[in-house]
Structure 1
Amino acid sequence: MSTIRIAIEGTSAHPLPALGHGLWVNHLEDVDAVQTLIEQLGGAHLELLVDLRQPGSLEQLRDALSVCQRTQTEAWLLVIVSDQTPEKQIRDLARMLATAPCVPRGILATPAAYLESYQPNGQWPNGPTPDDIAALTAELLPGYLIGGGVPTYFTELNRCRPAAERFDYLTHATSPIVHAADDLSVMESLQSLGDIARSARQLAHGKPYRLTTTAIGAWRNPYGGQLTPNPRRERVTLSDQDPRQRGQFAAAWTVAHYAAVQRAGVDAIALWAVNQPFAVAESGELWPIFHALRGLNRGRGKTALDIGASSAAVSVLAWREEKGIEVWVANLTGREQAIELTGMGIDGITRLDADTCSSAQNDPGFIHRRFSPGYGLPVIAPYGVLVLDCQCNVESGL
């Protein structure tokens, strides 16, 4: 087994993105369980996706905002409106928000027709465009930040670019199973995030760039209208029921995704959700992605460091703590990997892998418990995650 060398080169040019999670308002059922999960995760914000075409959606949205108020969590809205009566629905939304328990920071409103994807030279909808709805939202909801973009994917954003004067921030989601769903392809898709971010930055015209709720699964199929049925939870494209969601693979992918968007300079991201379809726990059982997200949320407000690895087999992330450095290493392969930290000593270690996930599933504080590093080089299990408390050598200058 060859050794992967990891080194810190200084302070990163980009801060850690604000890390939040999704909440599907129309799927909000067990409010108490959702509130507990939000408190345990400690995220910076929630992305509330609500389809105003659905009966009772405003009441459900009020419940979701009440949860945000009780947990002191910032709310951002993604609102789907009818192509026929968008003005009425946005006026109804404005009336509800006037007495809501929590004031959202921003609103992206999308006409339903634009949840689908259209070829550049194809037939486009005749109804209101996203720019039309953004202008209407700004008129009826003054004082709110207005989002530009789509709640779906970069392809749809790129084909329907918002006018710069219509939005205050740009957003879209990502999914790695649009074209292929095998393990290797899902991990390889992480390599595209930097290019996507650079392109989106051009469309943002210097305004904040936020990735909305993103997971391995796809919450929407803009290319065929219907998600792929997946009752047996197999590895298939464009499904919201991906089998890896409950396993160790998702934790490694999550750490790597967050590390990639940090290097790309994304301002904020929502990863996974506090309810279906992209929940991080079920019936009190905490999945590995829960622990990864809880640990990453601890980095909020910390100084990100520029860290690199000698192999793409692992993804690395680091930030400065009061008395040292916290280093994250995710194994993106199905093979063990040995690592060596250059210029750093390890004070404590947490292993999130197949051997520890069973003991972690009922322990919300697991990811913050450090153990002695022992002797020899740390070895990361297949798709495992290591969290390391480190001290830099004096000559490193950090």
Structure 2
Amino acid sequence: MNQPRPSGAAPSPHRERLRAGPLSAVLDGGDLRSIRLGGVEYIRRLHVAVRDRDWGTVPASISGRSVESDGRSFAVSFLAEHREGPIDFSWRGSIRGGPDGTITYRMEGEARSTFLRNRIGLCVLHPIVRCAGLPCRVETTAGAVIDGRFPQRIAPHQPFRDIRAIAHEADTGVWVEVRLEGEAFEMEDQRNWTDASFKTYGTPLDLPFPVEVARGTRVEQSATIRLVEPPADPPSWRSVVAAPGRRLPPIGLGIGDPGRAWSPREAARLRALNPGHLRVDLHPSRPGLGETLARTWGQATALGGVPLEVALFLSDAAEAELVELGRAVATARPGIARWLVFHVSEKATGERWVRLARPHLERMTPGVPIGSGSDAYFAELNRGYPPVPPVDFVCYSINPQVHASDDASVVETLEAQPWTVRGARALPGSPPAVVSPITLRPRFNPNATGGVAPDQPPGVLPDSVDPRQRSLLGAAWTLGSIAALAGRGDDPSPLALTYFEAVGWRGVMEREDGPPLPDRFPSRPGEVFPMYHVLADIGEFAGGECLAVQSGGDRGVAALALADGDRLRVLVANLDAEPRAVRVLGLGASAEVRRLDESNAEEAMRSPEAFRASRGDEVETGGGTLPLVLAPYALARIDTARPRGPGGDR
């Protein structure tokens, strides 16, 4: 039996809650996470990173961990070993927390081989929600003290450099200082890659990299966290469905391999998602352009004529390629939702290529929006934005694993996603954003320094594939992403969103013939993944309203409210590996509640039609309020009548 695990990933190292006087923290392997005062998070994570020459993160194996704790203080020690390819680096970690709220994290490491690295050392993550736009004090290595603020808009470059210590003020008036030793540190705005934090790290980026680390090289660093001001009371979580609403943006899928035809059952299941579009990547410099476009349009036609989102990758021979594309479009006559114009050799597409492509594309498909930006991350768009006149929108991709891959870090990225849409609107001309594609793993490494990537060893999952694609965590993250990007009433709405691929281990369902590596990706042939049901629940309200949802408390719950006439649907997801209690306000007098969790996920994956046809539990809401207890990474769909009056007016 392939019963899906709650997270779909390997079990995390043992997590322990610790206290240092008024501070609480979670020890996760060798990392210290969620450092809180009175329930309010001030430091998201303190950890050591080893990054290879291509910015790949080399994971640590933790052994010999010892924890002593008396409820007011703690002492932790362990050995961490990073081994991958030529890299062999180990370090001893020591973390001590005192009853006065001081926490000191030390690492003493040694290279056991000679290798190239881009970074080795401590990283401190400050949470966005408690820091963005708020005051901070930075002490430089020369002892100067600078009064500043964390960026409100996404900063394309380092907001602070030459950091010895940084203290920040949260909205409760609490100041927390982090003092660093052993390296020159600077800060980057990780919202550029949809990580929900500001990261302070060692080895400034203006120094050459990669750097050779000789065998025997020692690395010693430390970070000390201390409190400067008193605590505040924490909020409690709730969800309030509010009005007015706005149009739900089109949500589409990547077409994946255009050379593989979908089976009738695959096509029927995809059609049930009511996708807004299908993304296809076209490279006119490669042979078979006309055949690829015709085949892709045939697949879209099988879903009822879903329009194509065409990502067009031009080379330096763009003029001839556009002429060839025009012939292919005239022959296939596809429906086009929008054009995304890229250059194969540029991280952010230059204005030249957009100006060259626009008249050709306008003749082929009059009135179809034409945009550009980056096929990589928001960082590339933010640092190399083309002038507005040639584009109708800007575009970039999102994935939650640019810097870390553990479950908690993946979930934390949801907090940063809406900042990228705000950041796009803040660019000159206030262009709308198309976020395409949104994937669980990086599709490629835009910042590799090692040349062409080596072939994948036999029996190893491709870097772009994550077993959590078929997990409840993957489904909860998908709901959280759509809620973050489309469901926030105070944020600009994206023009369109594209998620994953249609079929296969990067998609929303498995192929009829199963995965290529069933031992590594244990899916059943033809099953749908839990995220399929999230997209189906949302697809039933395509073109409807997306209502603002006000929530309070921690970030462990995602909620999305959709309306169509008198119907109201609220989707709620637990983003945690622990059960979580939730209250949803603003509902009708009664509701139908259907859950997707460990108890029924396997059946929902094997028989999606039966699961979707089944009715949920009928409940009375008690004045429009519904309490729920959600299992780890569980989802709940709440269908009710749209209330009228305060909070329910249309």
CA distance in 2, matches of 1:29, 1:266: 30
* Per-residue Cα deviation, 1:163-195 (whole angstroms, up to 9, x for no partner): 211112211111110111111111111111122
**Aligned residues of 2:591 and 2:619 also touching (Cα < 8 A):** no
In structure 1, the partner of 2:429 is 205
2:283 to 36, 40, 51: 51
SS at match of 1:61: helix
Q: Distance in 1 between matches of 2:463 and 2:637?
A: 31
Any stretches of 5+ residues in structure 2 without a counterpart?
1-234, 513-525, 621-625
- Equivalent position amino acid for 1:281 in 2: M
List per-residue Cα deviations over 1:148-170 (Å, max 9, x = no partner).
Answer: 21222111111221121111221
Query: Any conservation in 2 of the 1:6–1:307 contact (CA below 8 Å)?
Result: yes
Distance 1:332 1:295 in 2: 18
2:345 matched to 1:103? no
Which residue of the other structure, out of 306, 313, 335, is the alignment partner of 2:578?
335
**3-state secondary structure, aligned to 1:358:** helix
Paired residue for 1:20, among 236, 252, 267?
252
Distance 1:349 1:233 in 2: 40
Query: For 1:116-127, what aligned pairs fall within 5 Å after superposition?
Result: none
Q: Provide the TM-score with structure 1 as the length reference.
A: 0.86
For the Cα contact (< 8 Å) 1:220–1:227, is it kept in 2?
no
| 1:222 aligned residue (423, 446, 457) | 446
Cα deviations by residue, 1:25-77 (Å, 9 ceiling, x for unpaired): x5531244563343122111112122334332431221101222342212110
Aligned to 1:294: 536
Structure 1 residue 140 corresponds to structure 2 residue 360: yes
When residues 36 and 395 of structure 1 are mapped into structure 2, their CA distance, relative to the original with a 3 A threshold, is: closer
1:275 to 503, 515, 527: 503
The answer to whether the 8 Å contact 2:339/2:369 transfers is: yes
> In structure 1, how many angstroms separate the alpha carbons of the residues matched to 2:582 and 2:268?
36
1:72 alignment partner in structure 2: 305
SS of equivalent to 1:110? strand
Match of 2:294 in 1: 62
Report the AA paired with residue 388 of structure 1.
I
The answer on whether the counterparts of 1:313 and 1:331 sit within 8 Å (CA) in structure 2 is yes
1:240 to 464, 480, 492: 464
* 1:223 Cα offset (Å): 1.1
* Aligned residue pairs, count: 379
Which structure dedicates a bigger proportion of its chain to helix?
1
Residue 629 of structure 2: which of 376, 379, 382 is its match? Answer: 379
The correspondence of residues 179-190 of structure 1 with structure 2, limited to 5 A, is: 179-190=403-414
Question: Could you say what secondary structure the match of 1:341 adopts?
Answer: strand
1:326 to 569, 576, 579: 569
Residues 340-387 of structure 1: CA distance to partner in whole angstroms, max 9, x if unpaired? 223434421111122211111233343464311468942211111100
Question: Does the 8 Å CA contact 1:320/1:326 hold for their aligned counterparts?
Answer: yes
**Which of the numbers 243, 251, 268 marks the counterpart of 1:10?**
243
Range moving further from structure 2, 252-261 or 61-70: 61-70
Match of 1:357 in 2: 601
How much does 1:205 deviate? 2.0
SS of match in other structure, 1:383: coil
Flag the 1:174–1:380 CA change in 2: closer, same or farther, 3 A: same
Output the amino acid matched with 2:552. Answer: S
Compared with structure 1, are the counterparts of its residues 98 and 27 closer, same or farther at alpha carbon in structure 2 (3 Å cutoff)? closer
- How much is the aligned-residue C-alpha RMSD, in angstroms? 2.7
Distance across 1 between alignment mates of 2:460 and 2:401? 14
1:94 aligns with 2:314: no
Secondary structure of the residue aligned to 2:311 is strand
The one-letter code matched in structure 2 to 1:326 is R
Question: Quick one: which amino acid aligns to residue 260 of structure 1?
Answer: A
Instruction: Give the strand-richer structure, 1 or 2.
Output: 2
Gap regions ≥5 residues in structure 1: 118-128
Q: Greater CA deviation, 94-103 or 28-37?
A: 28-37
CA contact (8 A) 2:293 2:328 kept: no
Structure 1 Cα separation of the partners of residues 546 and 306 of structure 2: 23
Change (3 A) 1:389 1:179: same
